[in-house]
Structure 1
Amino acid sequence: MSTNLLESTPPFTQLRTGVLQKYTPGLLLCSIAVLIAMIVNHFFSGVSPLIVAIILGIILTNLVQLPASISPGITLASKKLLRLGIVFLGLQLVFSDILSLGFPMLAVIVCIVAGGIFGTILMGHLLRMKPTQVLLIACGFSICGAAAVAGVEGVTDSEEEEVVTAVALVVIFGTLMIPFIPFATKVLGLSPEIGGMWAGGSIHEIAQVVAAGGIIGGGALGAAVVVKLARVLLLAPIAAILSFRQRRQGYTSPDGKRPPVVPLFILGFLAMVVLRSTVALPDEVIAAGGFLQTALLSAAMFGLGCGVKIQNLIHVGVKPFILAFGSTTLVTSIALAGTLLTHLG
C-alpha cells in the first residue's frame, strides 16, 4: 500500500505543478489589476473598481503584446471567477428590501427587464444581427450589465467575440448614463427619490448606478440600489428560461454536455440571497462577501477587458453600437415612464 502511495505521489505533484504553472501568470496579472483598481477606488470612491479594471485590461491589451502564458489565467478569471463573483453578488440582496418597493414598482421592474429584452431582440432582428449577440446585449442592458452577459453566455452558444463586444458596450453606454441621469433628473425637476429609482431602473451596472445615485444626492442612492438589485434578482429566472430553451432545442456544449436546467452559479446566487434574507449575518461576513464579490468581478472585468481589441470593435461594425443605443434608450424610457406612473399618478 505504501509503495502504491509513493508511486502515485509524483504524478499528482506533477499535475499540481502543471496547473499552477498554467494559471498562475494570468491570475497574478489579474491580481495586480485588481489591486490597482481597489487603490483607485480608495482615493476616488465614485470610481468603480470594476470599470477601472476593464479599462486597464483594454489599455494593456491594445498597447502591449501580452504573452501566451497569461492566456489560461485570464480566461479562468473572465469565466469562472466572474460566475463566482455573481454568486457573492447574492449577498447584497435582501427580499424584504425589494418587497418594500411595493407591487406597482415591482411590476415596473418586471416591465423594464421584459420590455428591454424583447424590444432589444426586435431591434436586433430589424438590424439583421446574430441572435446570440443580440441576446447578450439585450440581457446585459436590461438586467445587470456584465454579470447578465456572463449569465446568459453560460447557457447559450455565444462566441467569445460576442461576449467581449457586449461587455464593452455595457461599459461605454453605462458610463455615459452616469452623468446623464442626474442631469436629466434636475432638468425634469424630479425628486431625488424618483431620480434614484429611475437610475436604478435604467443604468446597466450596479457600480454605475451607485455613482449616479451619489451624484443625484438626497435619498437617491438608497432608492437606486434597491431598484437595481430587484433587476439583478431577475437574472436567475431569465437564465433558467434560456437554459431550458437551449435544452429543448437540443443544444450541447463542445464536450457533448447539455446545459443544466439552472446553471450552478445561478443556484449559488439564489442560495446567497436566501441566506442574506433569512439569517442575521454579522456585518463582518457581509463586508467580506462584498469585498470578495468586488475583487472577483474586478478580476473578471480585467480578463474581459484584455479581450477587447479596438481593431476588433471597429471590425464588428456600427450595428452593435446602434443596438446598444436603442436598448439604452428603450430601457431608460420604460424606467422613467413606469417610475412616474407609480409615484406621480
Structure 2
Amino acid sequence: MNGTQTAGMKAGAGMPAVPQSHGWSDLWKKEDYWAIWMGLGVVLAALIFFYAGSSIKPIAVAPPTWVDFSEVSKHFAAKWTWYAGLYVLFIALFTISSAVMGFKAGEFIPGFTILFIISTVILVVGSWKTAIDLNLEPPLLALLLGMIVSNAFKLPKWLDTTFRTEFYVKTGIVLLGATLPFTLIIQAGPVAFLQATIVAVVTFLTIFFAATRLFGLDRRFGATLAAGGSICGVSACIALGGAVKAKKEHVSIGISLVVIWAIIMIIVLPLAAKAMGMPPGIAGAWIGTSEFADAAGFAAAAAIGDEAAIRSFTLMKVVGRDIWIGLWSLIMAVIACTVWERSCSAGQGEKVNAMEIWWRFPKFVIGFFLASLIMTFVAMQFSPAEFKKVLTPEVIGPIKTLRTWTFVFTFLSIGFTTRFRELTAFGWKPLAAFTLGVAVNVPLGYILSVLIFGHYWAKI
C-alpha cells in the first residue's frame, strides 16, 4: 500500500493518481509518515511506562471472552474510564493528524465517535464464546456489518472523512512490527522476497497480456489492472496508474476490481485453508500471496484464528510484496516513457525521475521495520522466560490490543465505503482480465506456500 489516501476502498473515488509534489512537508502531510509517528509513538510510550514501573494497559483495553452477557456488564462497569481514555487517545491522534493533512476536524470528530462506538460493540460480539467458535473474528464482523449498512442505507457524505481505511491499517501495521521479532523477518525475509517476486511477475504479466492482447485494452489500463492484482491492491493501482499516466477512470476501475476480489478472498481463503487443514503459518503465507489488499488480507489472516497466520501474512504481503511498489512504478514509468511514448526518448516529453522509486515506496513499511528493531533490541535484555512472563503482558499485549482496534476501524471503513452497485459499473473485459490473474495467482500461491516453501512457513 502507498501513501495516497482513498476514501476507504471506495471505487471511483476520483483522486489524483500521482502526488503532485514531494518535499519535507511530506513528513507531516502524508499519512504514511503519520502512521510511523503514531505507531512508533505508541511503542515508545509503552516502553517508557514499562521502564518506569507502569504500563499502558489502562488505555489498551478490549472486552474479554464471555459466555453470559452479565460478564460484559461487569467488565464495562469496572473499566469504563479505561475506554474513555482509549477514546480520547485515538480521537486526539487521528483528529490532529487528519487536520494537519487537510481533513475537516469538525466532520472527523463526530464520525470517529460513531466509528469507535460501533467498533466497541463489534469487539464485544467478537469476544462472545459462540462467535469465537464460529470463527467470526471482529475484523470480519466489522466488514460484514459495514457492507450491510452501506448497501441498505445512504450514508452522509461527510462520514467519508472518517473512513480512512489506509491510514488505520498502516498505523496498525507499524504496531504489528513491535510484535514481530526482527530475527524472524531476517529468517523468512529471503523466502518472502523470492516468493513475492515469482508471484508478482507471473500475475502482472498474466493480467497485462490478457488485458492488452486478449481483450484489446489500452496498455496503460492493462498495467494499472496488473499492478492492482500483483503488488498491493488499491495503492498499486494508484501508483502505477500515475507512473504510466493512465486515465483516472481506469484507475477507478482497477480499484473496483481489487475491492471485489479482495472481499471474495476474505471469505474464501480462510475457509479453504481450514478445509485443507493448513497449519496457520502456511495459511497466512498463502493468503499473503493471494490477497490483493493489506486490509482485506489482515481480515482473512485473522480469521485463521492464530497469531502465526498474521505473522506469515505480514512477512509475505508487507515485507515481500508491498515494498516492490516503488521499483515496479519506476520500471513501468521507464517503459511507458521510452517505449509507449517515443517522444519522451526524443527529448520532447517528460523525463523519468530516478527518485520515483523513493516517492512510490510505501514509507509506513519503514515504521514497521523500526518498531520490530526497537522491540527486538529490548527483548535481547531478557531471557525467553522473562520475556514471556514480564514483557509480553505489560508491553506486547497492550500493543496487540491497540493494533486490533485499528484493524476494526479499517474493516468498518471498508464495509461502509463498499457499494455493490458502484463496483459493477464497468464492462466485462477488465473483469475478465483481472479474473484470469486471480485464476493464476491463487493456485501459484498455493504451490509456493504449501509445496515449495511450506517447511519455512510452518515454523513461523
TM-score after normalising by structure 1? 0.70
Structure 1 counterpart of 2:183: 96
Structure 1 counterpart of 2:320: 234
User: How many angstroms apart in 2 are the aligned matches of 1:313 and 1:274?
Assistant: 40
- Which amino acid letter does the alignment assign opposite residue 451 of structure 2? L
Kindly indicate whether the alpha-carbon contact (under 8 Å) linking 1:202 and 1:335 is maintained by their aligned counterparts in 2: yes
Change in 2 beyond 3 A, CA 1:110/1:139: closer
Kindly state the Cα deviation for residue 170 of structure 1 after the two structures are TM-superposed.
0.7
Change in 2 beyond 3 A, CA 1:313/1:67: same
Change in 2 beyond 3 A, CA 1:239/1:317: same
Kindly state the Cα deviation for residue 136 of structure 1 after the two structures are TM-superposed.
2.1
Secondary structure of 1:279 counterpart: helix
Secondary structure of 1:65 counterpart: coil
Kindly state the Cα deviation for residue 180 of structure 1 after the two structures are TM-superposed.
1.8
TM-score after normalising by structure 2? 0.54
User: How many angstroms apart in 2 are the aligned matches of 1:90 and 1:154?
Assistant: 24
Secondary structure of 2:424 counterpart: helix
Change in 2 beyond 3 A, CA 1:166/1:20: same
Matched, 1:310 2:402: no
Secondary structure of 1:260 counterpart: helix
Kindly indicate whether the alpha-carbon contact (under 8 Å) linking 1:87 and 1:265 is maintained by their aligned counterparts in 2: yes
- Alpha-carbon displacement from aligned partner over 1:163-205 (angstroms, at most 9, x marks no partner): 354234212123112222333x36xxxx748964764554531
Q: 2:404 aligns with which of 282, 287, 294?
A: 294
User: How many angstroms apart in 1 are the aligned matches of 2:175 and 2:109?
Assistant: 23
Secondary structure of 1:66 counterpart: coil
Q: 1:331 aligns with which of 424, 438, 441?
A: 441
- Which amino acid letter does the alignment assign opposite residue 42 of structure 1? S
- Alpha-carbon displacement from aligned partner over 1:236-282 (angstroms, at most 9, x marks no partner): 5213324555887769xxxxx99835343232223223223333283
Kindly indicate whether the alpha-carbon contact (under 8 Å) linking 2:196 and 2:320 is maintained by their aligned counterparts in 1: no
Matched, 1:340 2:437: no
User: How many angstroms apart in 1 are the aligned matches of 2:189 and 2:361?
Assistant: 28
Kindly indicate whether the alpha-carbon contact (under 8 Å) linking 2:197 and 2:321 is maintained by their aligned counterparts in 1: no
Q: 1:265 aligns with which of 355, 364, 378?
A: 364
Structure 2 counterpart of 1:112: 199
User: How many angstroms apart in 1 are the aligned matches of 2:184 and 2:424?
Assistant: 42
Q: 2:375 aligns with which of 257, 276, 287?
A: 276
Structure 1 counterpart of 2:255: 163
* Structure 2 gaps, min length 5: 1-98, 243-247, 292-296, 338-349, 380-386, 456-460
Secondary structure of 1:308 counterpart: coil
- Alpha-carbon displacement from aligned partner over 1:107-143 (angstroms, at most 9, x marks no partner): 4454334434444444444453733344223224xxx
Question: How big is the alpha-carbon RMSD for the aligned residues of Structure 1 and Structure 2?
Answer: 4.0
User: How many angstroms apart in 2 are the aligned matches of 1:83 and 1:103?
Assistant: 23
Structure 1 counterpart of 2:9: none
Kindly state the Cα deviation for residue 99 of structure 1 after the two structures are TM-superposed.
4.5
Q: 2:229 aligns with which of 131, 137, 144?
A: 137
Secondary structure of 1:316 counterpart: coil
Kindly indicate whether the alpha-carbon contact (under 8 Å) linking 1:22 and 1:72 is maintained by their aligned counterparts in 2: yes
Structure 2 counterpart of 1:73: 162
- Which amino acid letter does the alignment assign opposite residue 84 of structure 1? T
Kindly indicate whether the alpha-carbon contact (under 8 Å) linking 2:203 and 2:229 is maintained by their aligned counterparts in 1: no
Secondary structure of 2:162 counterpart: helix
Secondary structure of 1:293 counterpart: helix
Matched, 1:209 2:301: yes
- Which amino acid letter does the alignment assign opposite residue 72 of structure 1? T
Kindly state the Cα deviation for residue 29 of structure 1 after the two structures are TM-superposed.
2.5
Structure 2 counterpart of 1:62: 151
User: How many angstroms apart in 2 are the aligned matches of 1:223 and 1:106?
Assistant: 18
Change in 2 beyond 3 A, CA 1:112/1:53: same
Kindly state the Cα deviation for residue 312 of structure 1 after the two structures are TM-superposed.
1.0
- Which amino acid letter does the alignment assign opposite residue 370 of structure 2? A
Identity, % of aligned pairs?
Answer: 17
Kindly indicate whether the alpha-carbon contact (under 8 Å) linking 1:87 and 1:266 is maintained by their aligned counterparts in 2: yes
Structure 2 counterpart of 1:85: 172
* Correspondence list, 1:117-128, <5 A: 117-125=204-212, 126-127=214-215, 128=217
